[in-house]
Structure 1
Amino acid sequence: MTTAPEVDRELAAQILPFDAFDPEYHRDPYPFFQRIREESGPVFRTPGGMVCALSHEAASVVMTDPRLGYGDAPVVADQFVPNPDGPPGRPLIFMDPPDHTRIRALVSKAFTPRTVEGLRERTRQFAADLMVKAREEAVDGRIDLMAAFNRQLPALVLDALIDVPTKYHELFLGLANISGRGLDPGFILTEAEKKQRDEARDGFVQAGLEMATERRASPGKDLISQLAAVQGEDGEQLTELELGMTLMNLLAAGFNASAALLGNASLALLRHPEQYRWLRENPDRIVGATEELLRYDSPLQIVPRTALAEVEVGGIVMQPGDHVAAILAAANRDPEYYTDPERLDLSRPVSRNLGFGHGIHFCVAAPIAKMTAHAAFAELVKHDIELAVDEPKRFPGIVLRTLGELPVVLK
């Protein structure tokens, strides 16, 4: 008995402008984007009908034009969470207005500048304590920086923000990588990977609702208590499913996306020792340096959208139902927008990068993630660190670019 292949590679090759299964692509996708831009231009349509936006200008349009959203196309519906009591649950990042507008407004009430500033000093101390612990536990000075620092720091910050009970920590760290891989389009995932993705999301939702129930009974000053009680101007609150989906987004992003940012950036710093030294000598430039590191190798690489009405992107007219991919990794190295974009330059004048998206779906937790990164890089450059391997292992996702490990030597 023969079985059909789990993944239709020919279909993927028709839709995507690169080979999603090529290890060289996952190691370093940027030369691929350079060649694609040179051969096909900044905006083009693949044989499978996908419009690809590689320029900074076109990618920005994709993320801000209201005629481009998510809709209910199968490629998007694949990301929904089943709901036995009604319509499937949409993660906030896959919602369109007016639902997105309403829920985003409620969630934003919990992410104030005061909240960020209130965590800044604690985050610095978390970073310092983690490096002390890493040195104590290192064997011959060797550690996995991802496991010892880059994943632990965002988890500690999220714990301070949300007050995550200790019993959930290992669970969330395990679920985060699976759910991150699940952001990839379903046509490049095996059935086993989809099953793992769905189970990871269910795990986040269930744990989030358990914590929300506890906070309703005994509210505190943490984010979950605020979200469980938050009300809009008309008195509306998040439904139980909306609350569960929102907490899933926050937990998955907090335990994974921030760690991906720290991993990519710390690897870039270690591969550019002159930039590492510059940051050590210029600690007051940490904010601009973080923006450059985010531009240079951002964790969020691709953002999909669906045409909800006729719309033009980079000279290509799209009809309702057509799909477009804003390739942020390419847009962040657009030579028409950045000078010498392939070079990491921490002293580069700060300009708008697309590392956290743009428009109404700009990452709601970006201020917390950036504050965490500021503390992380300020602490890392105090130490003499060398890479222990030439090519650290990466997870194979094409939407979220993240390291699996980062072996280093603490000198």
Structure 2
Amino acid sequence: MRFDPWNPDFVASPYAVYDELRREAPVSFFEPTGQWLIARHADVNALLRDRRLGRSYLHLATHEESGREPEPDFQEPLWRVIRAGMLDVEPPVHTRLRRLVSKAFTPRMVESMRPRVRAIVEGLVDDFVEKGGGDLIAEVAEPLPVTVIAEMLGVPDADRHLLRPWSADICGMYELNPSQEAQHTAVRAASEFSDYLKGLARARRAAPGEDLISALAQIEELTEDELVGTCVLLLNAGHEATVNVTGNGWWSLFRNPSELVRLREDLSLLPTAVEELMRYDTPLQMFERWVLEDIEVGGVSIPKGVEIALLFGSANRDPEVFDRPDALDVGRADNPHISFGAGIHFCLGAPLARIELVESFGALLKRAPDIALVEEPEWNPGYIIRGLRSLDVSCG
């Protein structure tokens, strides 16, 4: 098998291909997407921190000036939302947005949320165990981060069912060469979510509460589009990754029963286990950057104006960095995985994601000691954001 992100067999198990890339072609050009694939941990880690690369080039030149086709007009509502969030902009705009939003993610603020996260998790898990199991992703993994983020933002209970579909539809645009249908679906979702958030922000500006949207709505230097883009990013990044770490992680534990037993018998391993599960079957397989100046990677010259694809899933299995990289070790102490990124775009919500994951795995291990897989799961078709369609389990 070769690198083929549209092949279901490759999506299900890309790691042998990554191993070949690291050994034989750690920096290689992938013709179907016009990207340079970067496979080794050292290179991926360094390039994430290299300011000669960026998530965007639009702060320097237009699409046409960069020798690229302009985006179709119908996509404008989507990009207005996406590019108003901090992930897809560069300094100084990125610096300003991150400074404003990071006030809600200080270590003290995040840790103060643990009791509420625990209560949400325990309620979900208790209901799940009481009915004897079911789809772990739909009934536990998905509701947890959506509920946490909705409460942070101040989205009313009656509207929270809208968030997951909007998030999934928008994230479809991050896949490689998305179909026309996926593009239109993402645009529709972005437009609906943007309209909803603008209405909510205006109401909170007039009558503030204790939530994040109320706080953001009071900041005069934050534009309405930036407020919307920030909230969409918090939902998408905080939701998709946590769901897929949970699903992929439990599937990894079921395939490594000795490690599941080890973790169940020593819950003090939960923090290292969560880091290992993120490394072992990475939810975000690829992160893209634009080359803003000519660079050289591994002896290969890469010109300004092209896009590189940083293969997180490959970097996290690099034997130059990880002992026995293809083995799951829930007690792995030395674990410099890059699942949260690095550099200025390091995931702002990483501390909250860690709390959610530790509490989620811990609650299931305690309350469902006999949890067992019912049938082998299937993978979603997406490669960049890689996760299971469902994970059917029994509890007693």
Using the size of structure 1 for normalisation, the TM-score is 0.87
User: Does residue 96 of the first structure (1) align with residue 80 of the second (2)?
Assistant: no
Give the corresponding residue for 1:304: 288
Sequence identity, in percent?
35
Matches within 5 A, 1:127-276: 127-136=121-130, 138=131, 141-185=132-176, 187=177, 189-230=178-219, 237-276=221-260
Q: SS state of the match for residue 109, structure 1?
A: helix
Measured in 2, the distance between the counterparts of 1:285 and 1:143 equals 26
Give the corresponding residue for 2:39: 54
User: Does residue 386 of the first structure (1) align with residue 372 of the second (2)?
Assistant: yes
1:300-329 deviation per Cα after TM superposition (whole angstroms, max 9, x unaligned): 110111111112222222221022111000
1:155, distance to aligned residue in structure 2 (A):
1.7
1:125-171 deviation per Cα after TM superposition (whole angstroms, max 9, x unaligned): 211111111133x3xx3400011100011122213322221222111
1:88-134 deviation per Cα after TM superposition (whole angstroms, max 9, x unaligned): 94442211111111111111112111221111012112111111111
1:36-59 deviation per Cα after TM superposition (whole angstroms, max 9, x unaligned): 33332x222334652211111100
1:53-80 deviation per Cα after TM superposition (whole angstroms, max 9, x unaligned): 1111100122110001121455996899
1:329-358 deviation per Cα after TM superposition (whole angstroms, max 9, x unaligned): 000000111111011101111332111111
Measured in 1, the distance between the counterparts of 2:37 and 2:188 equals 31
Measured in 2, the distance between the counterparts of 1:247 and 1:97 equals 19
Give the corresponding residue for 1:358: 342
Supply the AA of the counterpart residue of 1:237: E
Supply the AA of the counterpart residue of 1:95: V
1:265-317 deviation per Cα after TM superposition (whole angstroms, max 9, x unaligned): 12212222221121122222221111111111121110111111112222222
Measured in 2, the distance between the counterparts of 1:88 and 1:19 equals 27
Supply the AA of the counterpart residue of 1:58: D
Choose the corresponding residue for 1:71, options 34, 43, 57: 57
Superposition CA RMSD, Å: 2.4
Residue 80 to residue 397, structure 1, CA distance change in 2 (3 Å): farther
Q: SS state of the match for residue 310, structure 2?
A: strand
Residue 80 to residue 240, structure 1, CA distance change in 2 (3 Å): farther
Give the corresponding residue for 2:303: 319
Residue 156 to residue 76, structure 1, CA distance change in 2 (3 Å): farther
Supply the AA of the counterpart residue of 1:146: I
1:229, distance to aligned residue in structure 2 (A):
2.3
Measured in 2, the distance between the counterparts of 1:158 and 1:339 equals 36
Residue 47 to residue 183, structure 1, CA distance change in 2 (3 Å): closer
Query: Is the 8 Å Cα contact of residues 76 and 94 (structure 1) preserved in structure 2?
Result: no
Measured in 2, the distance between the counterparts of 1:79 and 1:62 equals 32
Residue 80 to residue 109, structure 1, CA distance change in 2 (3 Å): farther
Query: Is the 8 Å Cα contact of residues 81 and 229 (structure 2) preserved in structure 1?
Result: no
Measured in 1, the distance between the counterparts of 2:207 and 2:196 equals 17
Supply the AA of the counterpart residue of 1:275: E
Supply the AA of the counterpart residue of 1:167: A
Query: Is the 8 Å Cα contact of residues 204 and 251 (structure 1) preserved in structure 2?
Result: no
Q: Which moved more, 1:351-360 or 1:255-264?
A: 255-264
Query: Is the 8 Å Cα contact of residues 61 and 313 (structure 1) preserved in structure 2?
Result: no
Measured in 2, the distance between the counterparts of 1:291 and 1:79 equals 41
Measured in 1, the distance between the counterparts of 2:70 and 2:254 equals 37
1:408, distance to aligned residue in structure 2 (A):
0.7
Q: SS state of the match for residue 51, structure 1?
A: strand
Measured in 2, the distance between the counterparts of 1:91 and 1:162 equals 15
Give the corresponding residue for 1:12: none
Measured in 2, the distance between the counterparts of 1:306 and 1:267 equals 34
Supply the AA of the counterpart residue of 1:134: F
Query: Is the 8 Å Cα contact of residues 110 and 227 (structure 1) preserved in structure 2?
Result: no
Residue 110 to residue 154, structure 1, CA distance change in 2 (3 Å): same
Give the corresponding residue for 1:5: none
Residue 88 to residue 356, structure 1, CA distance change in 2 (3 Å): closer
Give the corresponding residue for 1:404: 389
Residue 106 to residue 327, structure 1, CA distance change in 2 (3 Å): same
User: Does residue 126 of the first structure (1) align with residue 120 of the second (2)?
Assistant: yes
Q: Which runs of 5+ in 1 are unaligned?
A: 1-16, 231-235
Query: Is the 8 Å Cα contact of residues 292 and 350 (structure 1) preserved in structure 2?
Result: no
Q: Which moved more, 1:195-204 or 1:52-61?
A: 195-204
Matches within 5 A, 1:321-336: 321-336=305-320
User: Does residue 117 of the first structure (1) align with residue 111 of the second (2)?
Assistant: yes
Measured in 1, the distance between the counterparts of 2:225 and 2:208 equals 20
Measured in 1, the distance between the counterparts of 2:163 and 2:121 equals 20
Supply the AA of the counterpart residue of 1:209: K
